[in-house]
Amino acid sequence: MYCLRFLTRAVKDLKRIDRPFQKIIKEKLSILAENPKVLKNNITALKGEDDLFRLRVGNYRVIFSKEDKELIILIIRVGHRKDIYSG
């Protein structure tokens, strides 16, 4: 099982999202921490970035990095798909 860690920016991003969507995102992150292979259809490596991935959760995206040796998933950003890739 992986340990989830959030950057301060990711926590702020998550708080700005409506509560029903927050709940869904948190459930997906819990599944991601348990076994990332279960969500492999919703995970894509970001082009032009080393070791960064995105998790698709409906219209929202979670940008994260994964340390397999230390079993840590670092959540970098959370946001709507139209906003998440800019800045």
The pLDDT of residue 16: 95
HEC-encoded secondary structure of the chain:
CCEEEECHHHHHHHHHCCHHHHHHHHHHHHHHHHCHHHHHHHEEECCCCCCCEEEEECCEEEEEEEECCCCEEEEEEEEECCCCCCC
Model pLDDT for residues 40-82, shown as the tens digit of each residue: 999 999 998 888 999 999 999 999 999 888 999 999 999 999 9
Q: Which domain holds residue 41?
A: 3-80
The pLDDT of residue 85: 76
Q: Is residue 19 part of a domain?
A: yes
pLDDT at residue 21 is higher than 70: yes
Residues of the chain above pLDDT 90, percent: 77
What is the reported pTM? Answer: 0.90
Q: Is residue 25 part of a domain?
A: yes
Q: Is residue 13 part of a domain?
A: yes
Q: Is residue 72 part of a domain?
A: yes
Q: For the chain, how many structural domains are there in total?
A: 1
Q: Is residue 11 part of a domain?
A: yes
Q: What CATH number is associated with residue 7? A: 3.30.2310.20
